[in-house]
Copies of this chain bind each other. A is one copy, B any other.
Amino acid sequence: MQTSSSQVKVLGILGGMGPLASADFYLRVTELTAQLMQAQNDAAHLPIIVWSDPRFADRNAAIFGTGPSPRDEMIAACRKLVLAGAQYIAIACNTAHAWWPDLVQALPGVPVLHIVDATLAALQREAPQAKRVGLLATVGTLKAGIYVQRALRSNTRIDWLMPDSVAQEALVMKGIRAVKAADLALGTACLEQAAQELIEQGAEALIAACTEVPIALKHSLFSIPLIDSTAALARECVAHGFGLSSPLAKAQFCTE
């Protein structure tokens, strides 16, 4: 792409995990560009390359040691994105961030935004008082400690609440799989119930910590803030692409 003639950066999206979540993420980046940058025409948007490969090895199985790792496939896909012109990378899947350190190491000089950093910044903006935070995430994201460890690293003090193992499988994972199968009614029912259980356990904010979750809950109303990891990462992509944020959540973006 003709990056030399423009100050904006080319975004590479590593997607396909799942496909609907990737399409939703790309849509959100575009909508947020229109909203935050007042883009009035095509040329005011970011150049974007999406690599949507639904055949990456299953992330949850790999994290639990019951299936092959998608690591090498993800690195190869990111290298293709960079070869095609991408100047920074976003991964449209929370669970895939278990391999974020591998991608960073394999792509020297290419920023790979971290969805948890973006989401924790959104939590700070949207629910600054919340200490007890519920996680709606895949079993792999929970097992790998993607949110917990990243929050510790950034000294964000949070008491994490997670569904018990029965609710995690029968509500959260069932709901995520329903979204992947495009059964949004079932996905919404399962995930709303999981959210409600976390609220009853004392959550002061919830994180939709899987990119399938916001698709199911986009029309849902809760008594506490729901922080949307898809929207948070999309916002950071817009900020980074237009050179507005370094490292995260610049003042321009806090006033909307």
Taking Cβ atoms with an 8 Å cutoff, the residues of A that contact B are 1-2, 5-6, 16-20, 22-24, 26-27, 29-31, 33-35, 39-56, 73, 77, 80, 83-85, 177, 180-182
Nearest 4 pairs of A and B residues by beta carbon: A34-B182, A50-B50, A23-B27, A45-B54
A53→B39 CA distance, assembly (Å): 14
Q: How far is the CB of A43 from chain B (nearest CB, A)?
A: 5
Establish whether residues A20 and B16, one from each chain, have CB atoms under 8 Å apart when the complex forms: no
Q: How far is the CB of A156 from chain B (nearest CB, A)?
A: 30
This chain: copies in complex: 2
23 A-B contacts (beta carbon < 8 Å):
A1-B53, A1-B55, A18-B42, A19-B48, A20-B27, A20-B30, A20-B31, A26-B52, A27-B27, A31-B182, A35-B182, A39-B182, A41-B180, A41-B181, A42-B56, A42-B180, A43-B55, A47-B55, A48-B52, A49-B51, A50-B52, A80-B84, A84-B84
Establish whether residues A26 and B50, one from each chain, have CB atoms under 8 Å apart when the complex forms: yes
Kindly name the residue among A5, A18, A24, A48 whose own CB sees the greatest number of chain B CB atoms within 10 A: A48
Kindly name the residue among A6, A18, A83 whose own CB sees the greatest number of chain B CB atoms within 10 A: A18
Q: Which of B29, B51, B54 contacts A42 (CB 8 A)?
A: B54
Q: How far is the CB of A76 from chain B (nearest CB, A)?
A: 9
> Which residue on chain B has the smallest CB distance to residue A182?
B34
A180→B46 CA distance, assembly (Å): 13
A35→B19 CA distance, assembly (Å): 13
Specify which chain B residues have a CB less than 8 angstroms from the CB of A41 in the assembled complex: 18, 177, 180-181
> Which residue on chain B has the smallest CB distance to residue A50?
B50
> Which residue on chain B has the smallest CB distance to residue A177?
B41
Establish whether residues A54 and B46, one from each chain, have CB atoms under 8 Å apart when the complex forms: yes
A41→B2 CA distance, assembly (Å): 36
Q: How far is the CB of A53 from chain B (nearest CB, A)?
A: 5
Establish whether residues B46 and A49, one from each chain, have CB atoms under 8 Å apart when the complex forms: no
A49→B33 CA distance, assembly (Å): 21
